[in-house]
Amino acid sequence: MRWVALAVALPLAALAQAPQACRALYRQGKLAEARECNTRLAKSEDPFLRAQGLWGIRDYQGANAAFREAALARPADPGVKVLWGRMYLEHFQPADAMALFQEALKAKPDYAPALLGMALAASEGYEIRAVELAESALKSDPRLAEARALLARLALEDNDRKRAGDEADKALDSLEALSIRATMDWLDDKGDTEWIARILKIDPAYGEAYSTGARLLVLNRRYDEGIHLYRRALELNPELSDARAELGVQLMRMGGEIEARKQLESCYKKGYRGPAVVNSLRLLDSYKNFETFRTPTTVLRLQKKEAALLRPYFQEQMDRAMAAYEKKYKLKLTKPVQVEVYPDHEDFAVRTMGMPGLGILGVTFGNVVAMDSPSGRKPGDFHWASTLWHELSHVYVLTATNHRVPRWFTEGMAVHEETAASPEWGDRVSPEVIQAIKDRKLLPVAELDRGFIRPSYPAQVIVSYFQAGRICDYVNQRWGFDKLLAMMREFGERKTTPEVVQHQLAMTPDQFDQDFLAWLGQQTKTQVAGFDDWRKGLRGVAEAARAKKWEQVIAEGKAIRDLYPDYVEAGSVYEFLSQAYVAQGDKAKAMSELDRYTHAGGRNPATLKQFAAWQAESGRQREAAQVLARLNLIAPNDEDLHRKLGALLQESGDHAGAAREWQSVVAMKPADTAGANFELAKALQAAGKRDDARDAVLNALEAAPGYKPAQRLLLELDGKE
């Protein structure tokens, strides 16, 4: 049980003292005695005492019933509902907990423990209102040390070291605040200091100090150190199931799956069955459905059903990215990079559980990358190769800095690398970003981490990714890539963002913000100035297209297209214009619009395939193949795509490329297995791989023994024709 120290109003002294006696035993490290104490308490005739005892022995169902009885017996006491809510928080039911805290506030407005409970619930989702609620709790009760410690933790999560220290120092009579101070020293690589000594003198079994530090280290992507501190927490108190669960999750994230299962199963057997435990165990069970492919530098884990299809494309991009980054970052990794690809987005979501920001497309844990498979999203919903390059950039930046780097910089470098790999990759300037620029919502560089951790408006995480990437673009353009490497080195030496900006760029953070915003303003002035006209005009173009008023579509579409050329999502002006030109019989102009769409980063598979078909019809087979090859990096789970690309590559003389595409067709188990294997055999023969070609033609004949073209090819390969 994660015991809580609440200022709960209890009119009877015995009701306050009995749970505290159990708590005292717990703090003395007498865990068996504490359990016996709670067992006795669980037999109390008073439902409130009984609820706390049952909670102490983790009989949540019994405790819930007792709390309900206590609430009926003491309807005017908000403390009952607050403690009940705190149990719900421990039992992974934040919504139910929040409802009870709100009921307590109805009974007693501004009740500090209820406000604190709401703040804790909000903090689990990295909500900005957690800070506001904790501040409200302190306003109501300035002596509420747990609220002060929570504010310190929230500030430390936001990388606001000064406020974290100030808030903790106002509550140093609490173990929570002392734990924040100890955590700040761990973040500074100082090891155990006087803060831990003070904590253990008060409570020799207070493993929560180490688990607090572990959580903050993990949040800062210092996973190995976090694992170490979770182990220390469990050495002090083996009953800390939340720490054990987190240890299991982190071990799994870092590839230590055998021990991860052991720790998670231990939690499960003891009744600690939160989403992290249950879903992680389920994910570990699903690994039997994956295949693992190894090279000296990479480990690639793919779901068996799509492994044959995806492996060549993923392996190629992994090898390309790692070669590029090794050269750019002047760094050779000492252990292989593991990439896990999940066709079920819910499995991938388990990997990101409890992390701040969006449930995004990829995540990196040291040398382990997990990401969505192209099949896990709607076709065209994301560019998987761009995502892979983004995550592999994290591997190099985290390694180069020993994981001591602010979030904004490593995300900014990864976003920068997406478009450095190809101008057509990466996310475009989104409407949310344009609106944030218009509303002057970009954060100062010294505070940019906060935009990733605790967003203050719905789109702030997206905006922060964009801003961080553009900052790295700006530094690269103005000072060169070596300056980014120099900044990276200094971050690795634990320098702060203001220190790095001042030393490396020879200006204050405020001056940097001014210069950057001026540069960004020039970069985006057309989109920002024309955004309202574009948005209004796009509605008119869409309505005209629905009514098939093609002249109006062309006139209004051309008028607004270049106001916001980055917009390539559903319903782009490029697609409307192409549709209108086709309706008028002007395919050349339709192709011109789709050419713009493609180079702006458009990802709609149907649109790109149509463009490639028109190019092939116009005798531009090479360009058509390039468009389809680009589509392979977006939505490769398309048999028709591979057939068309294979034919184009074979026609152009790229026999190895053609063989890869026909191998993809075969991997998708097409209806015409014989025909696909026959085409594969022809491509392999042309590529000089006669033995592989013979295997393919035999597969064709196994599927269709009377297939005469395959019979003739087999004779030819055997030298009998």
- With b meaning 16 or more CB within 10 Å and e meaning fewer, what string describes 22-36? bbebbbeeeeeebbe
Task: Indicate if the pLDDT at residue 594 is higher than 50.
Answer: yes
- pLDDT for position 512: 98
Residue 443 DSSP class:
P
- pLDDT for position 125: 87
- pLDDT for position 299: 97
My answer on whether 219 and 333 are in the same domain is no
Q: Could you report the per-residue pLDDT of 364-419, keeping only the tens digit for each? A: 999 999 999 999 989 998 899 999 999 999 999 999 999 999 999 999 999 999 99
- pLDDT for position 18: 62
- Does some domain include residue 617? no
- Does some domain include residue 315? yes
Task: Indicate if the pLDDT at residue 23 is higher than 90.
Answer: no
Q: Could you report the per-residue pLDDT of 485-542, keeping only the tens digit for each? A: 999 999 999 999 999 999 999 999 999 999 999 999 999 999 999 999 999 999 999 9
In this structure, how many other beta carbons lie within 10 angstroms of the beta carbon of residue 73?
12
My answer on whether 330 and 230 are in the same domain is no
Greatest Cα pair distance in the chain: 102
606 or 19: which carries more pLDDT confidence? 606
- Does some domain include residue 589? no
Tell me which residue has tokens 């020993």: 402
Are the CB atoms for 236 and 207 separated by under 8 Å?
Answer: yes
- pLDDT for position 433: 96
- Does some domain include residue 203? yes
SS3 at position 72: helix
My answer on whether 350 and 439 are in the same domain is yes
My answer on whether 117 and 207 are in the same domain is yes
Distances (CA, A) of 224 to 395, 423, 481: 14, 35, 29
- Does some domain include residue 287? no
459-483 mean pLDDT: 97
- pLDDT above 70 covers a percentage of the chain that reads 96
Q: Which two tokens stand for residue 400?
A: 């180069």
- Does some domain include residue 174? yes
Q: Could you report the per-residue pLDDT of 687-718, keeping only the tens digit for each? A: 999 999 999 999 999 999 999 999 999 999 88
SS3 at position 570: coil
My answer on whether 203 and 300 are in the same domain is no
- pLDDT for position 647: 96
Q: Could you report the per-residue pLDDT of 40-75, keeping only the tens digit for each? A: 888 989 999 999 999 888 899 999 999 999 999 999
- Does some domain include residue 608? no
- pLDDT for position 30: 76
Q: Which two tokens stand for residue 293?
A: 């492919």
Rounded CA separation 207/327 (Å): 44
My answer on whether 32 and 150 are in the same domain is yes
Q: How many domains does the chain have?
A: 2
Q: Could you report the per-residue pLDDT of 103-116, keeping only the tens digit for each? A: 999 999 999 999 99
pTM of the model: 0.92
- pLDDT for position 239: 87
SS3 at position 638: coil
Residue 230: closest CA among 258, 259, 201, 202: 259
My answer on whether 387 and 497 are in the same domain is yes
Task: Indicate if the pLDDT at residue 568 is higher than 70.
Answer: yes
My answer on whether 216 and 74 are in the same domain is yes
Sequence-distant (≥ 6) Cβ neighbours of residue 201 within 8 angstroms: none
- Does some domain include residue 539? no
My answer on whether 342 and 460 are in the same domain is yes
611-617 mean pLDDT: 97
Residue where one domain finishes, among candidates 475, 490, 514: 514
Q: Could you report the per-residue pLDDT of 181-207, keeping only the tens digit for each? A: 999 999 999 999 999 999 999 988 899
My answer on whether 226 and 113 are in the same domain is yes
Residue where one domain finishes, among candidates 514, 544, 573: 514
Q: In what order do the strands lie in the sheet with 290-294?
A: 290-294, 298-303, 337-342, 368-372, 362-365
Q: Could you report the per-residue pLDDT of 221-231, keeping only the tens digit for each? A: 999 999 999 99
Rounded CA separation 61/77 (Å): 22
- pLDDT for position 182: 98
Residue 591: closest CA among 579, 606, 605: 579
My answer on whether 318 and 224 are in the same domain is no
Query: Bridge-partner residues for 425, per DSSP?
Result: none
Rounded CA separation 337/261 (Å): 22
Are the CB atoms for 542 and 474 separated by under 8 Å?
Answer: no
Beta-sheet pairing, 298-303 with 290-294: antiparallel
Sequence-distant (≥ 6) Cβ neighbours of residue 143 within 8 angstroms: none
Sequence-distant (≥ 6) Cβ neighbours of residue 448 within 8 angstroms: 406, 408, 464, 467, 468, 471, 497
Angle between helices 129-140 and 112-124 (to 10 degrees): 160
- pLDDT for position 25: 77
Average pLDDT, the chain: 92
My answer on whether 209 and 66 are in the same domain is yes
Quickly state the pLDDT bin for 27 (edges 50, 70, 90): low
Rounded CA separation 440/27 (Å): 50
Residue 357 DSSP class:
S
Q: By residue range, what is the domain housing residue 100?
A: 13-240
Quickly state the pLDDT bin for 3 (edges 50, 70, 90): very low
Q: Which two tokens stand for residue 334?
A: 């000492």
Please spell the DSSP secondary structure of 159-224, one letter per residue.
T-HHHHHHHHHTTTTSHHHHHHHHHHHHHTT--S-HHHHHHHHH-TT-THHHHHHHHHHHHTT-HH
Distances (CA, A) of 114 to 81, 118, 339: 8, 6, 44
283-307 mean pLDDT: 96
| C-alpha gyration radius of the chain | 30
The CATH number of the domain where 19 resides is what? 1.25.40.10
The rounded Cα 167 to chain-centroid distance in angstroms is 30
Rounded CA separation 387/67 (Å): 48
Task: Indicate if the pLDDT at residue 300 is higher than 50.
Answer: yes
Task: Indicate if the pLDDT at residue 719 is higher than 90.
Answer: no
Rounded CA separation 147/112 (Å): 9
212-226 mean pLDDT: 96
Residue where one domain finishes, among candidates 459, 487, 514: 514
The CATH number of the domain where 369 resides is what? 1.10.390.10
Are the CB atoms for 602 and 608 separated by under 8 Å?
Answer: yes
